[in-house]
Amino acid sequence: MKLQEENAAYDEINVTPMLDLAYVLLIVFILMTTAAVQGVQVNLPKASNTPSLSKPLTKAITVSADGTIFLDTFPVTIEQLETSLMQYKAANPALPVVVKGDASVQYQNVIDILALLGRLEITQVGLVTQNLVK
């Protein structure tokens, strides 16, 4: 009896190995398609390992709590600030400047600096503030 059961025709086909093969072929197809479509070929320039020697273009003017004016990190008077900014403006007509004023400084000190920037026709001016975190 056992012999007849072993030779009996199959009623169902096992599709699991066929699905495994289909999934593998699908993954290979996706990988090959994305590898083939990478974009336009260009010859990219090489970067040098030497550090940049150029100074940052933006100048920072700081007014401390006691009214001292700093250009970048050097203390200056308003006259020295004007001559320095004229020199920088001659070298770079689109000179960007940021103004940082201490919260306790007199408002007039910052206004004097803004008026100086207006006389020198420096139009790219930023005022630095602190974010309020709630």
Q: pLDDT digit string (tens) for 39-82?
A: 566 666 676 666 555 556 888 898 888 888 898 888 999 999 99
Task: Give the tokens for residue 48.
Answer: 């040098």
CATH fold, domain 59-127, is: Nucleotidyltransferase; domain 5 (3.30.420)
Check the CA dihedral 86-88-57-60 and report its sign. Answer: negative
**For the whole prediction, is pTM greater than 0.95?**
no
Could you tell me the residue ranges of all domains in the chain? 10-36, 59-127
Q: Quick one: average pLDDT of 25-42?
A: 75
With b for 16 or more beta-carbon neighbours within 10 A and e for fewer, the 81-100 pattern comes to: bbebbeebbeeeeebebebb
**pLDDT score of 2 more than 90:** no
**How does pLDDT run across 78-126, given as a tens digit for each residue?**
999 999 999 999 988 888 999 988 888 888 888 899 999 999 988 888 8
